[in-house]
Structure 1
Amino acid sequence: MIKITLFSTQPYDRRFFDAAADPSIEFTYQEAALTPHSIALAEGADGVCVFVNDVLDASVLEGLASLNVRAVFLRCAGYNNVDLATARRLGIQVARVPAYSPEAVAEHAVALIMTLNRRTHRAFNRVREGNFNLDGLLGVTLHGRTAGIIGTGKIGIATARILKGFGCRLLAHDPMPSPEFETLGELVSLEQVIAQSDILSLHCPLLPATHHMINARTLAAMKPGAMLVNTSRGGLIDTRAVIEALKSRQLGALAIDVYEQEAGLFFKDRSSDIIDDDIFGRLMTFPNVLVTGHQGFFTVEALTEITAVTLDNIRAFRDGRVSGNEVAVQV
C-alpha cells in the first residue's frame, strides 16, 4: 500500500480517481492547495499529487521531506511550479503527465479565437435580451489570415491542424521545432512570427527563457490589430504591457485561458466575492478581451488520461521502476 495526498482536489478529480480505483493506492483528498501553510496535510503520505497552481518551492519541498514525503506527482504537463534542484537534493522524485489529449487544449484555443472574432459571446447575451442588432459584432474571415504558433509540441501541432482546416496561412517558431509542422506551414524566426501574424497563439512551457516573452517590445512588433491567444501558462505574458497595448489599440484582441496571478482566482467560485486583483479587473473592462478559467484541458478524454498516467507514475515509483515521465533538473 502506498499513500498519496491529492491537493487542490476538485469534485471531478475525485470522480475520475475513484473510478480508476487501485486497492494498492490509498488516496486522501484535500481541497486546499499545497502551500507553505498546508504542508501538514501531507503527514503520513508517501507522496503528494498536485496541480498547476500548487506551490512546490524550496520551503514547501523541505517541509514535505521533513514528513518523509518521497515523491511529487503532477496532474499536468508543466512543472514550472516545482523547484527541481531542491527536489533532487532532498531525494524527492518528481513525475508529470507529459501529454494528455492535446486536441482538447487546441480545440479550446480555436474556440476562443472563433468566439472573440465573431463576438458570439456578446451576441448570445444580446439575443437573450431580445436585441438582434448586428452593430458591434463584425468579425473577419479566418480563411487566408496568417496564424502564428509559438511552440510546435503536440498542442501546437494540433492547433495548427485545425487552423489549417480553416484555410489559414501558418507560421511557427520553436527552438526545437517539430518536423511535422513543415507539412502544415512555414517555420520562421520568433521575430517573423510575431510581426506577420494576424492571430498569435502561444503553446510553449513557462521557463526562464519564455517568462514574459510577450512584453512591451514584442507587442509593439506585432501587426496592429492582431489577436493574441494564450492557453499555455499565464507567465508567458506581461499582463500590464498587454493592457497598455489594448488601450493604445496596438493589440486588437486578447483571449486567455491562463493568467499570471490565477492561483488566487481560478478553480473556485468567486461570484460572491470582491475580486481585489486590479490587473485582472482592468482586463475584464475591455470588450475585446475573452477570459476562461484554465479549462482548456477540461474534457472527459483528458481527465481520463491524466488519471491513468498519474496512477502509472505512482505505481512505477512504488515498484522502483522508471515510468519515463520523471522530470530531470534542467541544467
Structure 2
Amino acid sequence: MKVLVYSTKSFEIPYLKAANDGKHNLTLIEEPLTSETAMKAIGFRAVSLFTSDNASNIVIEKLKDFGVKYITLRSVGHDNVNLFSAKKNNIQVAHVPSYSPHAVAEHAATILLALNRKLILANHRVKTFNFDLNHLIGTDLNDKTCGIIGTGKIGSVMTKIMHGFGCKLLAYDTQPNKRLSVQYNMTYVPLETLCKSADIISIHVPLNTETHHLIDKNVLALMKPNCLLVNTARGAVINTKDVIEALTKKQISGLAMDVYEFERDIFFKDCSKAIPDDDLLLKLNAMPNVLITGHQAFLTEEALNEIAKATIDNLDNWEKGKKPKNELIFKLPEVHKA
C-alpha cells in the first residue's frame, strides 16, 4: 500500500522501517497535515498521522477528494481527527490502542519528583559549581495523599508507582477499577473531594467533551495551597488561563506538564531561534514552580516499537481487506433522559 507519513520525526524512522520490513511503500515527510499540505496526499491510499496533525472536517474532505481511503494514527489520542467526517467520507481510521503505559506513568512520576525536589534549579546551580541549598526544599511523598484522575492503563501504573512511594490514594473515574481499590487501598471519590484532599494530583484522562477544561478555576479553587498538579494526558484537560491564575494566587504549589493546551503549532519543533508568540506559554515558562517537557512522556524504545508495530498492523489489515482491531468508529453521544 502506498502510504504518506505526515509529521515524521527522525527518532521514529528506524522503528517504522523495522516494523514495515518493506511491506508498504512509505513516504516519510516532516510536514504536518494541514489544509494546505493535504494535497501532498494525492496518489496515496493511506496517510499516517501524529498528534500534531489536523484532520478536521475540511481536511478530511480534501483527503477523500485526493483518493485517501485510510488514516492510521501513531497515537492513542484521536481528538485531532473528525471521526464523523471520516465516516461520512468513507475513510477508515485506526489508532494505536495503547503503548507502554509505563512510559507515560513513569514520566509523570519523574516530572513530579523533579518539580518537588527542585532538581532543575539544583542541577543548574551545580553546573556553575554553586552548591548552595537555599530554596531547594521539597517534601516527602511518603504519607502524602495522591489523587489520580483517570485510572485506565496509564492511571493504573501511576497508582502502582505512587503506592510504592507510600502515598494514600484517591481516584476519580467514571468507571472505577475495583482491582485497584483492593490491591492498592485506593478510594474512589467525586472530583471535588479528590481536589480538596490531595497533596498531589496526576491527570490521566483522554480529551473529549466531558474532560475538556475539566480542571478550571472552580476546581482549582478547591485544591490545597501545597498541591502539586501533574498533567501528562492532554493539554486542554486544564484551562491554561485558570491554572496560571491559580499559580499566581498561590492556590496551588506547582505544576508539572508534558502537554500544553495550545501546543499544536509549537511542540515537536526547535523554536529556540524564534520564540513562540504565546503569552500563556511564556508566563508558564517563566514561573519557577512550573516544569514543562515537550510531549515526550511516550518517548521510550518500548513505546516507539509498539507504536510502529500497531501502525503497520493497521495497514496490513486494510491491505488484506480486513478491519483492524484498532479501528475507530464514530458514535453519537449518548442522550441521558431525565
Q: TM-score range by the shorter chain?
A: over 0.9
Question: Tell me, which stretches of 5 or more residues in structure 1 are unaligned?
Answer: none
Aligned match of 1:252: 253
Alpha-carbon contact 1:76-1:306 (below 8 Å) kept: yes
The Cα of 1:20 is off from its aligned counterpart by: 2.3
Task: Provide Cα deviations, 1:242-278, integer angstroms capped at 9, x if missing partner.
Answer: 1100100001100000001111111111111122111
What is the TM-score with the length of structure 2 in the denominator? 0.96
What residue identity is the alignment partner of 1:215? Answer: D
Alpha-carbon contact 2:146-2:167 (below 8 Å) kept: yes
Alpha-carbon contact 1:157-1:180 (below 8 Å) kept: no
How many residue pairs end up in the alignment? 330
Aligned match of 2:336: none
Alpha-carbon contact 1:227-1:251 (below 8 Å) kept: yes
The Cα of 1:324 is off from its aligned counterpart by: 1.4
Task: Provide Cα deviations, 1:277-311, integer angstroms capped at 9, x if missing partner.
Answer: 11100111110000000000000000000000111
The Cα of 1:117 is off from its aligned counterpart by: 0.3
Alpha-carbon contact 2:215-2:238 (below 8 Å) kept: yes
Aligned match of 1:179: 178
What residue identity is the alignment partner of 2:89? Answer: L
Matched, 1:274 2:275: yes
| C-alpha separation in 1, matches of 2:75 and 2:224 | 33
Aligned match of 1:196: 197
The Cα of 1:34 is off from its aligned counterpart by: 0.3
| C-alpha separation in 2, matches of 1:159 and 1:251 | 21
Alignment of 1:26-105 (within 5 A): 26-105=25-104
Matched, 1:314 2:315: yes
Task: Provide Cα deviations, 1:6-34, integer angstroms capped at 9, x if missing partner.
Answer: 10001012121122233331100110000
Aligned match of 1:207: 208
What residue identity is the alignment partner of 2:252? Answer: L
Aligned match of 2:331: 330
Alignment of 1:135-150 (within 5 A): 135-150=134-149
Alignment of 1:221-240 (within 5 A): 221-240=222-241
The SS at the match of 1:262 is coil
| C-alpha separation in 2, matches of 1:177 and 1:71 | 34
What's the C-alpha RMSD, in Å, of the aligned pairs? 0.9
Alpha-carbon contact 1:48-1:69 (below 8 Å) kept: yes
What is the TM-score with the length of structure 1 in the denominator? 0.98
Alignment of 1:122-161 (within 5 A): 122-161=121-160
Aligned match of 1:305: 306
Runs of 4+ in structure 1 off by over 3 angstroms are none
What residue identity is the alignment partner of 1:66? Answer: D
Identity across matched positions, percent: 43
| C-alpha separation in 1, matches of 2:178 and 2:4 | 40
Aligned match of 1:164: 163
The Cα of 1:322 is off from its aligned counterpart by: 2.5
Question: Tell me, which stretches of 5 or more residues in structure 2 are unaligned?
Answer: 333-338
What residue identity is the alignment partner of 1:252? Answer: S
Aligned match of 2:116: 117
What residue identity is the alignment partner of 2:232? Answer: T
Task: Provide Cα deviations, 1:76-104, integer angstroms capped at 9, x if missing partner.
Answer: 00111111111000011110001100000
Alpha-carbon contact 1:229-1:256 (below 8 Å) kept: yes
| C-alpha separation in 2, matches of 1:69 and 1:138 | 55
Alpha-carbon contact 2:74-2:311 (below 8 Å) kept: yes
Alpha-carbon contact 2:20-2:312 (below 8 Å) kept: no
The SS at the match of 1:201 is strand
